Amino acid sequence: MINTDMPNKVHEGRNIKRFREMLGIKQDTLAFELGEDWTQKKISLLEQKETIEPDILEQVAKILKVTPEAIKSFSEEAAVNIISNTFTDFKDNASGINYNCDLTFNPIDKVIELYERLLAIEKEKNELLQGKQKK
């Protein structure tokens, strides 16, 4: 029997890593932003810690532009549930809506149209210059 009374323990270091990766920030960059006492190795060790000191958590959260609470409470399982529920809701609600765009165009036609407009502008410019030369 599974004990459901005990909440899942959040791994703050792993959550920092997830936020950092979602934002496309490398460990070196995070270390640089934290200051000269920090290195890539130190960030790696930080991401392995289950619990992070509040002042460090605050600094990292500020750099990642999230709240410390977001790092403390982020649950991958909850995020997957939200995404899957949203997808299910979308699929159910979208049944009566046609999202297919019936507008089609040929890119070559658009290039030709643009070329013709540029050519007309050049002709107009030449006519103006020739008019000025005659004066």
pLDDT of residue 99: 47
Q: Are 46 and 13 in contact (CB under 8 A)?
A: yes
Q: Are 66 and 19 in contact (CB under 8 A)?
A: yes
Supply the pTM of this predicted model. 0.54
Options 2.60.120.260, 3.30.56.10, 3.90.1150.10, 1.10.260.40; which CATH number does 12-81 get? Answer: 1.10.260.40
pLDDT of residue 84: 64
In the chain, what are the domain boundaries?
A: 12-81, 104-134
Identify each DSSP E strand in 27-117 by its residue range.
none
Q: Could you report the per-residue pLDDT of 62-116, keeping only the tens digit for each?
A: 999 888 988 888 877 766 665 566 555 444 444 444 444 445 667 787 788 888 8
pLDDT (mean) for 22-28:
91
pLDDT of residue 113: 84
